[in-house]
Amino acid sequence: MAADPPAGYPDMPDPWTLRYQGFDPAEEGLREVLCAVGNGYVVSRGAAPESVADGVHYPGTYLAGCYDRAESTVAGRAVTNEDLVNCPNWLPLTFRPAGGAWFSGPPAEQTLELDLRRGLLTRTALVVDGQGRRTRLAQRRLASQARPHLLALESTFTPENWSGPLEVRSGLDGRVANTGVARYRGLTERHLVPAGQGADGTGLLRLEADAVNSPLRIALCARTGTDREHTARTECREGWVARVLTLEAAAGRPVTVTKTVAVHTSRDRAVETPLLASRLLAAEAGDFDRLLAEHALRWAELWRRCRIEAEFDGVGPLHLNLFHLLQSHSEHSVDLDVGIPARGLHGEAYRGHVFWDELFVLRLLNLRFPELARAVLRYRHRRLDAARRQARALGLHGAAYPWQSAQDGREESQQLHLNPLSGRWLPDHSHLQRHVGSAVAYNIWQYYQSTGDREFLATAGAEMLLEIARFWSSAAVHDPARGHWSIRGVLGPDEYHDGYPGQTRPGLDDNAYTNVLASWVLARAQDALDVLPGYRRDELRERLALDTVELDRWQVVGRHLHVPFHDGVLSQFDGYERLAELDWPGYRRRYPDLRRLDRILEAEGDTVNRYKASKQADALMLWFLFSAREVRDLLRRLGHPAGHELLRRTTDYYLRRTVHGSTLSSVVHAWVLTRCDRRASWHHFRDALVADLRDSQHGTTAEGVHLGAMAGAVDLLQRCYTGLEVREDALWLDPHLPSALGRLELDLRYRGHWGLTVAVDRRTVTVSLHRDRQEPVRIRLRGTAATIRPGESRCFHL
């Protein structure tokens, strides 16, 4: 990294290690998130095993797709939320010299190291009890990538100045609640109730819990053992069970205890019951070293498929971002019917819901793990009927995908949100971000362009695309005065503006990003039909009752949606130019951090709806999704002869008025600026790359990582600075390396090729294909066209 991190931030002594020294209560939540271990099925925060949820520590564990719905009373109103469940705590493990107090932390000394290459969290500590007895503690922890239902914790105790009986207590705790986000406190927190606990004759612990309002059962079994002679007893009460081992310890002689835990749920496939499956797996699992060896082998495979060699000083944060992405969504997620939660499986922010962030994640996965991208799109397809119901509820046709999704695909957006600065609960209109449907459509088409997977398009993708296009066509209303069509009452990606000043009706008219994307969707829907085999095209049209009259309407609407402009730039929405300018110098003097400008203004009795101020990129998102040439073509299709200077003017205009209140903002601005200001682009890239590592949003990372920003920062290297695009059945390259980036080399998967290497430096681009039986790849680079066959390599001079 460019400089030593500020005090309180972790150290990365090498590109594959994250290290924390000592214990800082103020940073504990951040540390727990960044040191989490997981495998796509389960993620467990890096909390100390002896800790409990006490306002400093939060030993949360989350299982993909496990939600519970509960009702709460907020500001006198009954509201219902569906939450990702904080699952029974598998971690509890503590110790004491006989006659002492159970160790509850913090230790006198401590070092944490997360090995990103192997997915292993190591803790070394010195514990001094009330009688001055010193014990060295070494712990290793993993969530198996080889066996996704297994977690393991190895603890080694070495007395320094004492000998005698040592007691180790290893437990399972089902008395958990969702209390990890302070602003949600006061809402219903309890989502699990105990359903049984105990131990069998071998000392194998079991614990079951049921969700309060959903048909979910979770079962854990734990095996705790040591190769030293010992005695053991079981302690048990409702929702909690533990095994206590007593063994002789001697000064200078290490004692190792291993805890292996299996977890299953009623959502899992190919199990008779969750309890039986967990009991069998925990009983047969190998020792820690064996589990680590097979786990490390799987991580080695993942890192080979994610290879990015980049010549700059931030490779460590790059690996950290990829690590947490692969822990949140992996091969173990494919059969679970789950989306990608915006905050990963690392905490309870946004209640574990799925937003549009997959737009940033799938662009990366399409060219690395297309099977994972396809699984996310299947998640969306299974909820197509829910999106159709939502459209009907709005009095429209087609499919309206929800801004927030969880288990069954209904709209999960909150009705009220708390401004912690004013203490007021305010109406929440974020569900009006209808552009999420266009994000789903974009992801479908990008997946198809990257993979050539016509089977998916024929069986699922085209149907979703057509229904999203149908929604946009029915949402558009004709404005005779302008001779255009309008889409009214929506929110754009900015999120700050949710209505016009002085009006009670929420929503905005003709958000430029929404309208241009709707036009693009209407065009791609026809392309999707054209790609399908004739018989399948006819089947779909018959199934959807899609006639020529409707298709013709799509083309009319798609070419005549209103796109507002003012002062030579793209307007964020119709009427944006009438908003007031904020006193930026004055507010920057009064508030050192303006990222939550909306909350600041509301607390002052004002509203951000009055001002030309943005939380994050909105209109500029167009240049994030499409090349400059494609944006010009899209606008010309809508009747606007956009010139080459539009990008620079629009970027300069909104950049001066954007506070970057979202981690996604730096990703988008880095992408857009690479076409007009590479130095500024690199600055935003570096901000995006370390957004979670340095907790740039001041405390939010402790509630969960920001997966969209993590993936987006990696994709800036993969696709932005290489100028890599997939369209028109070809791989397009147009490199724009910032001066701080010397060289890039990537291994990609593209249309069945598992070994496509792209190497970029200041003078050349080299594309190589491994030998296989796949079709040749078409390359387009700055006016040059080439076809590369398997086993060939081609060097292009810039």
Q: Tell me the C-alpha to C-alpha distance, in Å, between residue 469 and each of 20, 523, 561, 635.
A: 50, 9, 13, 18
Asked if residue 1 has pLDDT above 70, the reply is: no
Q: Tell me the C-alpha to C-alpha distance, in Å, between residue 327 and each of 88, 268, 578, 711.
A: 19, 18, 46, 12
d(CA 49, CA 89): 10
Asked if residue 6 has pLDDT above 70, the reply is: no
Q: For residue range 689-745, what is the model confidence (pLDDT) as tens digits?
A: 999 999 998 889 999 999 999 999 999 999 999 999 999 899 999 999 999 999 999
Q: For residue range 38-90, what is the model confidence (pLDDT) as tens digits?
A: 999 999 999 999 999 999 999 999 999 999 999 998 878 888 999 999 999 99
Question: What is the average pLDDT score of the chain?
Answer: 95
How much is the pLDDT for 9?
A: 59
Asked if residue 3 has pLDDT above 80, the reply is: no
Average pLDDT estimate for 586-597: 93
What is the enclosing helix (H) or strand (E) of 672? helix 663-673
How much is the pLDDT for 99?
A: 85
Q: For residue range 547-563, what is the model confidence (pLDDT) as tens digits?
A: 999 999 999 999 999 99
How much is the pLDDT for 642?
A: 87
Q: For residue range 271-280, what is the model confidence (pLDDT) as tens digits?
A: 999 999 999 9
Q: Hey, what amino acid is at 498?
A: D
Q: Can you read off the two tokens belonging to residue 773? A: 């039986």
How much is the pLDDT for 451?
A: 96
How much is the pLDDT for 610?
A: 97
210 DSSP β-pair partners: 193, 217
Q: Can you read off the two tokens belonging to residue 30? A: 């951040």
Average pLDDT estimate for 737-763: 93
d(CA 648, CA 681): 13
d(CA 522, CA 526): 7
Average pLDDT estimate for 367-395: 98
Answer yes or no: are the C-beta atoms of 88 and 209 closer than 8 Å: yes
**What percentage of the chain has pLDDT greater than the value 70?**
99
Asked if residue 127 has pLDDT above 70, the reply is: yes
Asked if residue 672 has pLDDT above 80, the reply is: yes
- Where in the sequence numbering do the catalytic residues fall? 495
Q: Can you read off the two tokens belonging to residue 269? A: 């496939």
How much is the pLDDT for 702?
A: 96
How much is the pLDDT for 220?
A: 98
Answer yes or no: are the C-beta atoms of 486 and 479 closer than 8 Å: yes
d(CA 720, CA 743): 14
d(CA 662, CA 418): 17
How much is the pLDDT for 7?
A: 40
Q: For residue range 13-24, what is the model confidence (pLDDT) as tens digits?
A: 999 999 999 999
Task: For 604-666, give the DSSP string.
Answer: TT--GGGBS-BSS-STTHHHHHS-HHHHHHHHHHTT----TTHHHHHHHHHHTTB---SHHHH
Confidence tier at 676 by pLDDT (50, 70, 90): confident
Q: Tell me the C-alpha to C-alpha distance, in Å, between residue 620 and each of 339, 512, 516, 626.
A: 26, 10, 12, 10
Confidence tier at 640 by pLDDT (50, 70, 90): very high
Q: For residue range 200-218, what is the model confidence (pLDDT) as tens digits?
A: 999 999 999 999 999 999 9
Answer yes or no: are the C-beta atoms of 477 and 485 closer than 8 Å: yes
Asked if residue 623 has pLDDT above 50, the reply is: yes
Q: Strand, helix or coil at 725? A: strand
Task: For 563-603, give the DSSP string.
Answer: --EETTEE-SSTTGGGSBPP-HHHHHHH-S--TTHHHHHHH
Asked if residue 5 has pLDDT above 60, the reply is: no
Asked if residue 483 has pLDDT above 50, the reply is: yes
Q: Tell me the pTM.
A: 0.96
Chain position carrying tokens 């290489």:
722
d(CA 343, CA 326): 13
Task: For 402-423, give the DSSP string.
Answer: -SSB-SSSS----SEEEETTTT
Q: Tell me the C-alpha to C-alpha distance, in Å, between residue 321 and each of 35, 617, 785.
A: 12, 22, 34
How much is the pLDDT for 798?
A: 86
Asked if residue 179 has pLDDT above 90, the reply is: yes
CA 103 to chain centroid: 35
Largest separation between any pair of C-alpha atoms in the chain: 90
Q: Strand, helix or coil at 261? A: strand
